[in-house]
Amino acid sequence: MSAANTTTPAKVPPPRQAPPPPPDVPGRSRKPRAAGGAAVPWGLLAPCLLVLVVVLGYPLVRLVTLSFQKFGQSQLWGFQPAENVGFDNFATVLGDDEFWAVVVRTLVFAVGSVIFTMVAGMLIALLLQRVSGWVKTLVNIALVASWGMPVIVATTVFKWLFDSDYGVFNALLSRLPGVDLIGHNWFASGPQGLAVIMLLVVWGAVPFVVITLGAGLTQVPKEMEEAARLDGAGAWGVFRYVTLPILKPIIVMLTTLSVIWDMGVFPQVFVMRNGHPEAEFQVLTTYSYDKAFVVNDYGQGSAIALVTVVLLLGVVAVYMRQMLKIGEVE
Amino acid sequence: MSATAVPSKAAERPAPRPAARPGGSRRKRRTRAGWNVLGLLVFVVVGFPVYWMLNTAVKPAKDAIDPDPSLLPTGLTLSNFRRALDIADFWGPVGRSLVVSLSVVLIGIAVGMLAALAISRFAFRGRKVVIVAILAVQMIPLVAMIIPVFLLLNDLGQYDKLSGLILTYLTFILPFTVWTLRGFIVNIPRELEEAAMVDGCSRTGAFVRVVFPLLAPGLVATSVYGFIQAWNEYLYALMLMSQQKQTATVWLANFTTKHGTEYAPMMAGATMMAIPIVVLFLLVQRKMAAGLTAGAVKG
């Protein structure tokens, strides 16, 4: 809505008053000057579309065809043509218990990260409304600094924080009475190691959530909160019945984006495990990478990547629907 | 603050208010202090990894392997930075990263601006499809595309070439660039352009003289953001380039020495990589934060 309004201010009361039934029609009638036909806009779009089709569209198609082919080292070097094997790759992948373990691990990791990120983000955003100005500035500086940290830098820093012998995390915990964690290796077990990686992912993701939710919170009308309070709502009631519904579109979008990002976590796991994630650290992305570039079975690797994309499609659909609903696309 | 407000209020409403107020504000002040303490806790927790990176980078290397490290800085030395530069070629990877990121941004902005103009200033059949497609493309998990992109560049003879990496990164930043620039263009009133055209400018002239200057801040912010994305990318840089041509992120991730990982020089390397990026990020963050969820509330 905001976008459409600013484009054509005041010019278009007529189409507005008429009930605008199909979403396409008002969009077009709001852009009345279709000067010069369609050649100019398509010409302007051409370079962009060309790049996207060649380096994104074509590989996407190739990903699908690859997943139906036997494609290994000899096909890569061109010694043998790729052989079509139908659903063999999918049958192998889906019939593998390890694959399902990886799927479950990825989902648990992603859902855990998203919930952790959203709850922490919401709490910090609400907290920032209540603190003094100077505290808010301090927190914002820390948030933006952690947000701006390159992922690889953040990963190496966390590797250092959680180092078994000299890591400051073990040292700090060991100062507590009765705790001795010096020399504890967090990456000896999958769940503990993934918890550390989750912490890293959440640490990197929270700032975006806090700042976006913070911007959203400023849009919640004070009068509505006041009215709810007069009607006897407590702090939780005001949040549950006033703040939350108003923020819902933002929350939906942040959640869907977070799911997409956290399902696609790669460098954090890969670099944390020095380029060779152990079996209990594999998530879908590293598993697909391993199958392709370590085992040299590009067909199976593509099949796994394709399954990942399909798993995400539902989430992407929610995001797109939300974008369309708020009229950003007009 | 409330002290200045009380007298005028008291004058209007004599009886109960003045008595109730001070007590209320004291309680308010106490809860405010409680929130502030919590806020400071958040500050410490969120900021600690950054602090520890800087702290480790400047402390003498022997203090970095103290099993009971001091939380405060123990000394100030640049020897870790010197060591980081010595262990492996640092400027080579940084130079390559710079070349790649700058090329990606320059081409991306030019191409992206044209596309953004097309979808924000023209009405044509298929416009909505293009917009939805650009939005959707942004959602493709790039990690899933590494296999076919690797094979494609291999076929094109672009494996282990900076140009191949530039082409790949271009597709990563283009959808975002188009989308964000579109947002900036849409906010420039069309009437300004029309006025210029009435005054005798051609359509292109109106764009160059009116829209472009107004768009400049948006262009800068989007470029910086694209630069950061390209600079930070790791997986494709790792896969598409050989060890001899590694970029800065791969350099940092591979930071090990004959004696295993030396963390103090590694943190020095991390600091060198992070500081320029964080500074750039600080400059544009305010403008870009809204990008992905623009309009979500106002709608």
Chain A, window 286-305: residues with a beta carbon less than 8 angstroms from a chain B beta carbon: 288-289, 292-293, 298, 301-302, 305
B72 and B139 part of one domain: no
Q: Is residue A58 part of a domain?
A: no
B104 and B141 part of one domain: yes
For chains A and B, what is the number of CB pairs under 8 angstroms? Answer: 329
From A221, A150, A192, A219, select the one nearest A280 (Cα to Cα). Answer: A192
Distance CA A119, CA A103 (A): 24
B108 and B209 part of one domain: yes
**Interchain contact A144–B (C-beta under 8 A):** yes
Among the partner residues A32, A203, A249, nearest to B49 by beta-carbon distance: A203
pLDDT, tens only, A173-193? 888 887 887 888 889 888 999
Q: Is residue B174 part of a domain?
A: yes
Our CA dihedral for A172, A151, B139, A270, rounded to 10 degrees, sits at -80
pLDDT, tens only, B223-239? 988 898 899 999 999 98
Q: Is residue B201 part of a domain?
A: yes
Burial class (CB in 10 A: 0-12, 13-18, 19+), B35: middle
**Interchain contact A209–B (C-beta under 8 A):** no
**Interchain contact B41–A (C-beta under 8 A):** no
ipTM, 2 dp: 0.81
B72 and B106 part of one domain: no
Q: Tokens representing A189?
A: 């077990």
Q: Is residue B299 part of a domain?
A: no
Beta-bridge partner residues of B260: B257
Residue B289 has pLDDT above 70, yes or no: no
The DSSP secondary structure of A269-307, one letter per residue, reads HHHHTTT---GGG--HHHHHHIIIIIS--HHHHHHHHHH
Domain containing A278: what range? 97-325
Q: Is residue A122 part of a domain?
A: yes
pLDDT, tens only, A86-130? 888 899 889 989 999 999 999 999 999 999 999 999 999 999 999
**Interchain contact B242–A (C-beta under 8 A):** no
B103 and B200 part of one domain: yes
Please check whether residue B149 is in contact with residue A59, taking contact to mean a CB–CB distance below 8 angstroms.
Answer: yes
Chain A residue numbers touching B297 (CB-CB < 8 A): 215-216, 219, 246-247, 249-250
Residue B84 has pLDDT above 60, yes or no: yes
Among the partner residues B147, B261, B290, nearest to A298 by beta-carbon distance: B147
Domain count for chain A: 1
* CATH number of the domain within which B198 lies: 1.10.3720.10
B248 and B115 part of one domain: yes
Q: For residue B76, what pLDDT is reported?
A: 83
**Which stretch of A33-37, A160-164, B3-7 has the lowest confidence by average pLDDT?**
B3-7
**Interchain contact B253–A (C-beta under 8 A):** yes
Instruction: Kindly indicate the confidence band of residue B288, based on its pLDDT and cuts at 50, 70 and 90.
Output: low
Residue B17 has pLDDT above 50, yes or no: no
Contact A148 B252 (CB under 8 A): no
Q: For residue B15, what pLDDT is reported?
A: 44
B73 and B13 part of one domain: yes
Domain count for chain B: 2
**Interchain contact B20–A (C-beta under 8 A):** no
Residue of B nearest to A47 (CA): B111
Q: Is residue B30 part of a domain?
A: yes
Burial class (CB in 10 A: 0-12, 13-18, 19+), B128: middle
B250 and B106 part of one domain: yes
B120 and B219 part of one domain: yes
Q: Is residue B260 part of a domain?
A: no
**Interchain contact A271–B (C-beta under 8 A):** yes
Q: Is residue A91 part of a domain?
A: no
Final residue in a domain of this structure, among B82, B101, B124: B82
Q: Is residue B283 part of a domain?
A: no
Residue A51 has pLDDT above 80, yes or no: yes
pLDDT, tens only, A69-85? 888 888 887 777 888 88
Please check whether residue B186 is in contact with residue A327, taking contact to mean a CB–CB distance below 8 angstroms.
Answer: no
Q: Is residue A306 part of a domain?
A: yes
pLDDT, tens only, A125-148? 999 999 998 999 999 989 988 888
pLDDT, tens only, A277-330? 999 999 999 999 999 888 888 999 999 999 998 888 888 888 888 877 766 555
Q: Is residue A201 part of a domain?
A: yes
**Interchain contact A309–B (C-beta under 8 A):** yes
**Interchain contact B257–A (C-beta under 8 A):** no
As a whole-number percent, the residues of chain B with pLDDT over 90 amount to 26
As a whole-number percent, the residues of chain B with pLDDT over 70 amount to 86
Mean local confidence (pLDDT), B140-155: 87
B18 and B57 part of one domain: yes
Residue B286 has pLDDT above 60, yes or no: yes
| pLDDT averaged over every residue in chain B | 82
B59 and B93 part of one domain: no
Q: Is residue B278 part of a domain?
A: no
Q: Is residue B7 part of a domain?
A: yes
* CATH number of the domain within which A101 lies: 1.10.3720.10
Among the partner residues A56, A131, A298, nearest to B39 by beta-carbon distance: A131
Domain containing B45: what range? 2-82
Closest approach of B160 to chain A, Cα-based (Å): 16
B77 and B96 part of one domain: no
Q: Give A305's contacts (C-beta < 8 A, 6+ positions apart).
A: A63, A67, A288, B143, B144, B145, B146, B147
Mean local confidence (pLDDT), B278-287: 79
CA distances from B229 to A121, A206, B101, B174 (A): 23, 18, 8, 11
Residue A27 has pLDDT above 50, yes or no: no
